A and B are shown apart, each in its own frame.
Chain A
Amino acid sequence: MTTALRSSRRTQEMSPTGTGPARRKRRGSVTLTVLTAIMAVYTLVPLAWLVFSSTKTQDGLFTSFGLWFDGGEFALFTNIKDTLTYDGGIFLRWLGNTLLYVVAGAGGATFLATIAGYGLAKFDFPGRRAVFAVVLGAVAVPGTALAVPQFLMFAKLGLTDTPWAVIIPSLVTPFGLYLMWTFTTQAVPDELLEAARVDGAGEFRTFFRISVRLLAPGIVTVLLFTIVATWNNYFLPLIMLKDPDWYPLTIGLNAWNAQSHTAGGQAIFNLVITGSLLTILPLLAAFLLLQRYWQSGLAAGSVKE
């Protein structure tokens, strides 16, 4: 089947909202719903535990049932205040660092993947096949296998313990490149680019004026997934950063937890729990608000074998 044929079939079949034209409304099944609900309960129990626990004091955690409130005290707001002010407000510093890594890392990664995916889909250039082979091969290389040599190289460059050590490696997302390549292939018609060229528009002008709009759902998808990857990144900052002032939230929370488990360290389980809740809320919100985009974008990426 030719690519052109395939993409036309795809655009017909996939409407982003989840109810295709061919979908007939069927009778609901209670059994199937109950079985799926078991899965949903499994998903929700830890999150519910987190929400209930964040309303408890350090002592309340030990004396009350995990999946309900502590009868004695509703400490959510005290916990939030304590989390934000503990140790001179270091949590806010970590939040700021995370935002910096996300904006620079995920933003940069999405930009690079978008233009590169576009270049691969719409241009024929010497070395194109080699780029494919190298990048697709790299997807199979375990990311963490690169971490030790990355650390040694960055140490030689004097970049460890600086934000650059976290940002630069985050800038490359082979998966994002792959998604943008498949997405561009089906979303940007060649005829449009030809017309722009005939009108004498430069390639970059065409890209930013015309193509970017057509690529928007793909860009949002890649952006969301790179945001999750950088927001949740643990291994890379763990090896690159020693100075707590540059920690992202993930490393900071783990340091608080480790402190609580160390003999002699101040136990601050309530802050670890409340901090965890504050850490996941922005991402959950982003996914819920943007679900229309990432669901259709992922669908586009999964079609191409």
Chain B
Amino acid sequence: MATVSGVRRRRSWKGWQFVGPFMLVFALVFLAPIGYSIYLSLYRNRLIGGNSFAGLENYQRALQDQQFWSAFGRVALFLVVQVPIMLFLALLVALAIDSGRLYGTAFFRVTIFMPYAVPAVVATLLWGFMYGARFGLVGNIDDALRITLPDPLSPHLVLASIGNIVTWEFVGYNMLIFYSALRTVPHSLYESAEIDGASQFRIITAIKLPAIRGAIVIATIFSVIGSFQLFNEPAILKPLAPNAITTFFTPNLFAYSLSFSGQQYNYAATVAIVMGILTMIIAYVVQLRGTREG
């Protein structure tokens, strides 16, 4: 990966003129906070006694914390259900658009991508309004059909409702990643397969999907990271569904509440680090599995 294109040039420090500014800011906003988190997680801060070294005490606490594991379980469930649905839909649309057999290809490509440009705040407010029984669409349907639909913001449905919002936001983005990858597959491959009498389904499974495996792995990793970081949608829906969304609904919401309502910065940093490590492990496993099966 780290090879210079074309002819190898002699090594010199010149490149740092270009890379230096990025790395300077990167060190300030990425590396320093990571180091600071690790430092925080190893200390405790008490009203009496002040700041003192705590060893792995915070980590022990996190690993035994019911609230942390319930938050983790929730995003894990979200990951297992929402991510496959979203990526599957994205793949179907990408294949449909790439097939060249749609009427209005350009319209579909742009339309389905559009929600990506909508801020998570607006997307969540929008769906939050529509979920509402007062002046939302759910309320309209209830009135029109004289029925009572299950409340999308009730405790047992709210996670699915959030899944719907996230799917709406990112289906188009993932579709575009898949579509861009499909466009680079040489079409002569399909044509000779067609001449040999291969069915469309066979062409998809035998040629197209293997060809875009790299893109599928990347999209999966982004989605894994996104699921584990889930924050905006539940945080913004919280005023609408105060009983369904707790302060420890997701690990990020938990860390946020610990810091900014509880002033427990040391423990919040620990929770963030544990989540970061779990995320990296799972992203790494996805990458290994994705590249091995070739």
Contacts and interface: CB of A to CB of B under 8 A. Distances in A.
A92 interface: no
Interface in B135-158: 135-137, 140, 144
A42 B101 contact: no
Given A39-B112, A115-B18, A232-B120, A142 B228 contact: yes
A90 interface: no
Interface string A133-147: 011001011111111
A119 interface: yes
B232 A234 contact: yes
B25 A273 contact: no
B50 interface: no
A66 B144 CA distance: 12
A172 B114 contact: no
Given A36-B97, A66-B140, A119-B18, A3 B3 contact: yes
Chain A interface size, as a band, is 35 or more
A87 interface: no
Interface in A59-83: 61-62, 65-67
Interface stretch (B32-40, B62-70, B202-210): B32-40
B59 interface: no
B276 A145 contact: yes
A141 B11 contact: no
Interface in B63-120: 89, 92-93, 96-97, 99-120
B36 A152 contact: yes
A119 to B, nearest CB: 3
Most chain B CB neighbours (cut-off 10 Å) among A32, A35, A62, A253: A32
Nearest to B219: A302
Contacts of B99: 26, 29, 32
Contacts of B260: 239
Contact of B122 (A24, A131, A253): A253
Given A124-B15, A150-B33, A232-B119, 18 more contacts: A18-B183, A36-B93, A46-B168, A50-B126, A121-B5, A123-B19, A141-B280, A144-B252, A145-B252, A145-B272, A147-B256, A153-B32, A186-B5, A232-B118, A262-B239, A269-B129, A286-B117, A299-B183
Interface of B: 1-19, 21-23, 25-26, 28-34, 36-37, 40, 89, 92-93, 96-97, 99-123, 125-127, 129-130, 134-137, 140, 144, 168, 171-172, 176-177, 180-181, 183-184, 186-188, 191, 214-215, 218, 221, 225, 228-229, 231-232, 236, 239-240, 252, 255-256, 259-260, 265, 268-269, 272-273, 275-276, 279-280, 283-284
Interface of A: 3-4, 7, 10, 13-14, 18, 20, 22-30, 32-33, 35-37, 39-40, 42-44, 46-47, 49-50, 53, 61-62, 65-67, 112-113, 115-116, 118-129, 131-132, 134-135, 138, 140-153, 168-169, 171-172, 174, 177, 185-186, 189-190, 203-204, 207, 228, 231-232, 234-235, 239, 249-251, 253-254, 257-258, 261-262, 269, 272-273, 276, 279-280, 283-284, 286-288, 291, 295, 298-299, 301-303, 305
29 contacts: A14-B183, A23-B187, A28-B101, A32-B96, A33-B102, A43-B111, A46-B130, A46-B168, A49-B129, A49-B137, A112-B22, A116-B23, A118-B18, A119-B18, A119-B19, A123-B4, A123-B9, A124-B15, A129-B2, A138-B30, A141-B279, A142-B276, A153-B33, A153-B36, A203-B17, A207-B18, A232-B120, A234-B119, A280-B117
